[in-house]
Structure 1
Amino acid sequence: MIKHLFKLIWNKKKQNFLLITEILVSFMVIFAVFILVVNYYQHYKQPMGFEYDHVWVVNYQSDVKIKDKDSLDVYYKTILSNIKAMPQVQEVSFASSNVPFSANTHMNNVDYKKVHVNRVNYYTAGDAYDKVLNMKVTEGRWFGKQDDAATVKPVIINRTLRQQLFGNGKALGEKVGGNDSKRIIVGVVEDVKAKGDYQEAGLAMYERIDTSSNDGRGRILVKVNANADAAFESRLYKLMASNSNNSGIEIEHLTDKRKTINNTTLIPMIILLVVACFLIINVALGLFGVLWYNINKRKGEIGLRRAIGASGDSVSWQLVTESMILATLALFIGIFFAVQFPLLNVFDLPASVYLTAILLSVMFIYLLVLICSLYPGKQASAILPAIALHEE
């Protein structure tokens, strides 16, 4: 029976070629959509690695004319002390512009012996940065006063970067290079998804902020109590504005920044979903049209089969099976191209993302073809042999 169906499909190869091409294009678009969906879902399942509730970001522009390093250190520490003294504030820390959920990114490479790692996110953080965000230190410690006299710049790395640089080996006390300088690792923290729920944590290195310099500053992270309201936000704004050297002050909430960056991240997937929906509708209409055309053109064949004893279910099953075979032929070609993505590591994603996307795409196409062929198949099974043969 299957051999007979292949023969029927081959005899209508020109007509079926267009349908196979349409299913193939649909598979590739659906495959791209599922790559994004699976990738985002896998990232979404991972823990955030920090707490963003009740954390505010104070953006400011500083034009300090102080030249003496000790005086500058006192000046910046006084700002932190004044904010920390407010009753609604739990913790406060300076930070670089690439705070969590911001669009700013600072990237460079890290070298350790013969290991070279690219695309490492560099963060400049204060001594209370980990407490503000409630980050988890898994090895060593966070920055502290003991680093004031350090001759080698102390840094903290995240778990993923630790794995790439050292594997299961020792990380604390090791010196790594980057930007033509040496740094010593004093701690390891859990991965932090700083770019939202749907992006991976990536590789991260944290450097201690130098309060005796104007470099790497412009943001202050403030962890507030649950009862901090608009009135307190106004007082915080006035406190920052009272310093004549600060201007361009803006206060943001990490909860709002999280929503914004999540919406931005989802835009490519939404666009692909819209394109995929139009394509799916076209494929569905094409399948319906082809099957209806087949029924009307093959009434004599269907009537003859019914006349010699074929049941309505067998006629229906034949049309459905033909559609599934066409889908299978298209999927064989589509899978051949799809498996090249993990083999060539096209988007630098885990192989599990591609394989899961292939499986979901195949299931989706089969389900779509099955749904589109069931009703025309049912209509074909209702054709009476006497009427069909009479029309012929």
Structure 2
Amino acid sequence: MIKHLLKIIWNQRRSNGWIFAELLIVVAILWVMMDSMLVDRYTYHSPLGFDIENTYKIQLGTLQPGTPGYVDEQEAATRPGEDALRLIDNLRQSPEVEEVSMSAVGSPYTNNNMRTLLVPFDADTTVKPSGFSHCAVDPQYFDVLRLTDKEGTPLRKVIGQQTGLVPTADLEEKLFGDGSIVGHTFGFHLESTDRIPAIAVSSPVRKTEYEKSEPRLYQVISTSEMVNVIEGWQVIGMDVLIRMRSGLPPENMETFLQGMGERLTVNNVYVSSVEPLSDMRADILKSREDNMKKKTALVGFMLVNVFFGIIGTFWLRTQARRGEMGLRVALGSNRRQLSRLMNLEGIILLALTIPFLLVFIMNMLYFDMPDTYRLSYTWWRFAATFGGAYLLMAGMITLGIWFPIRKAMKMKPAEALHYE
């Protein structure tokens, strides 16, 4: 039967040539759209590496001279950094609070970034100094965002009260490949005399749902070091994250803060505002979400056009051959045989485009046109997009052939001979 159908396709090559060109263009467009959507969806639903449920960012401020309640620096018995940490302790003692952390450039869903040079001191000479995203955090930071190590164990349980470096797994892989970074010592510049050990490895962490994880370095520092960091960055520049116990709705957060009263002010340091991380997420993702909606609408519009175009093409093609189909019915073909014959002919015509599409895909990969940064081009990605495009096309072809065949089966032999 295949040989017979190939002869029919060849004998009708003038009309089939245009249909073949249309199928080739449409299936190539479908592959591009499906590949792009697959990368976006896969990246979006991949683990972020942190959890922001019931978590808020607290903005600290400082009273200025002349403001009611201002304490002159010369009269203050404590430093501003110590005041900030004391305020954090006041928050931590509230029964509604699960944990509070202080960090420099440690808040998710912000555009703030700090890069530092990481110099290995006890590694082999193949490990070169490199620049990475870096943030200074207290141990409670890992509890607030619920960060885990590579095995899924909460990082706070792993590090306890230790201070040192906690790189992400992709940073460890970049520096040591399959080796372990734990136990090696590092510095932040070539002339550094400090030897800071790596004490644990975090699971990969992504900035947003639409970005791939990048090497990142957390530096867990002591209380005295945090005081110096706060005064270096100033209180207003620090990131204070607070995780509330489950069951406290966001609309009650203001009521909670009001209930804290004077405990929200320590000398000149006070709580200025609070914002849910979910709202920060919505703000930072707004442009990407808008682009995704536009992209999805465009893909949907294209699919509708492709759907009606392919169905219309094969509908008209099958309709034009009513005489041939009627004659086959008159000669004894049943509905199942006729349907199988016409559908197989359409599928063979579609299958003839496969070598050309493979050449197209190889050229796209050669020029690095698909997004291979966020998702490597693997066999499963190829099978999902290539197979999905052809299955969708085969379904459209089958649907375009089904109705005319159904009408042809009701044709009387005399009418079939008239068409022939």
Check whether TM > 0.5.
Answer: yes
Conserved? CA contact 1:338–1:358, under 8 Å: no
Whole-angstrom distance in 2 between the partners of 1:227 and 1:294: 63
Residue matched to 1:83: 91
Quick check: 1:22 aligned with 2:50? no
Conserved? CA contact 1:284–1:372, under 8 Å: no
Conserved? CA contact 2:60–2:269, under 8 Å: no
Deviation at 1:33, TM superposition (A): 1.8
Residue matched to 1:223: 243
Whole-angstrom distance in 2 between the partners of 1:329 and 1:207: 58
C-alpha change, 1:192 and 1:261, in structure 2 (3 Å) is farther
Quick check: 1:211 aligned with 2:223? no
Quick check: 1:71 aligned with 2:91? no
Quick check: 1:34 aligned with 2:38? yes
Question: Higher mean Cα deviation, 226-235 or 286-295?
Answer: 226-235
C-alpha change, 1:265 and 1:363, in structure 2 (3 Å) is farther
SS in 1 for 2:94: coil
Which amino acid letter does the alignment assign opposite residue 305 of structure 1?
Answer: R
2:139 to 127, 135, 139: 127
CA offsets 1:244-286 (integer angstroms, 9 cap, x no match) = 4558x33122355456667765554443332222222112211
Quick check: 1:292 aligned with 2:315? yes
C-alpha change, 1:327 and 1:270, in structure 2 (3 Å) is farther
2:257 to 217, 233, 236: 233
C-alpha change, 1:304 and 1:370, in structure 2 (3 Å) is closer
Conserved? CA contact 1:88–1:227, under 8 Å: no
1:277 to 297, 300, 306: 300
Conserved? CA contact 2:84–2:266, under 8 Å: no
Residue matched to 2:376: 350
Whole-angstrom distance in 1 between the partners of 2:293 and 2:190: 42
C-alpha change, 1:4 and 1:49, in structure 2 (3 Å) is same
Residue matched to 2:168: 158
C-alpha change, 1:317 and 1:225, in structure 2 (3 Å) is closer
Which amino acid letter does the alignment assign opposite residue 351 of structure 1?
Answer: Y
Count of aligned residue pairs for this structure pair? 379
Whole-angstrom distance in 2 between the partners of 1:390 and 1:285: 30
Residue matched to 2:57: 57
Deviation at 1:221, TM superposition (A): 1.2
Conserved? CA contact 2:59–2:274, under 8 Å: yes
Task: Give aligned-pair identity as a percent.
Answer: 18
Which amino acid letter does the alignment assign opposite residue 24 of structure 1?
Answer: A
C-alpha change, 1:33 and 1:127, in structure 2 (3 Å) is closer
CA offsets 1:195-234 (integer angstroms, 9 cap, x no match) = 4566554322112464213328432112333465432133
C-alpha change, 1:239 and 1:135, in structure 2 (3 Å) is same
Which amino acid letter does the alignment assign opposite residue 156 of structure 1?
Answer: V
Conserved? CA contact 2:98–2:244, under 8 Å: yes
C-alpha change, 1:335 and 1:271, in structure 2 (3 Å) is farther
C-alpha change, 1:332 and 1:108, in structure 2 (3 Å) is farther
1:377 to 405, 409, 413: 405
Quick check: 1:171 aligned with 2:181? yes
Question: Higher mean Cα deviation, 205-214 or 265-274?
Answer: 265-274
Conserved? CA contact 2:172–2:201, under 8 Å: no
Conserved? CA contact 2:103–2:141, under 8 Å: yes
Which amino acid letter does the alignment assign opposite residue 167 of structure 1?
Answer: G
Structure 2: gaps of 5 or more residues: 65-71
Whole-angstrom distance in 2 between the partners of 1:302 and 1:6: 15
Which amino acid letter does the alignment assign opposite residue 233 of structure 1?
Answer: L
1:187 to 176, 196, 199: 199
Relative to the length of structure 1, the TM-score reads 0.77
Over the aligned positions, Cα root-mean-square deviation in angstroms equals: 3.9
Question: Higher mean Cα deviation, 276-285 or 311-320?
Answer: 311-320
Residue matched to 2:102: 94
Residue matched to 1:151: none
Which amino acid letter does the alignment assign opposite residue 352 of structure 2?
Answer: L
Deviation at 1:236, TM superposition (A): 5.4
C-alpha change, 1:354 and 1:191, in structure 2 (3 Å) is same
Which amino acid letter does the alignment assign opposite residue 58 of structure 2?
Answer: V
Structure 1: gaps of 5 or more residues: 148-153
Deviation at 1:240, TM superposition (A): 4.5
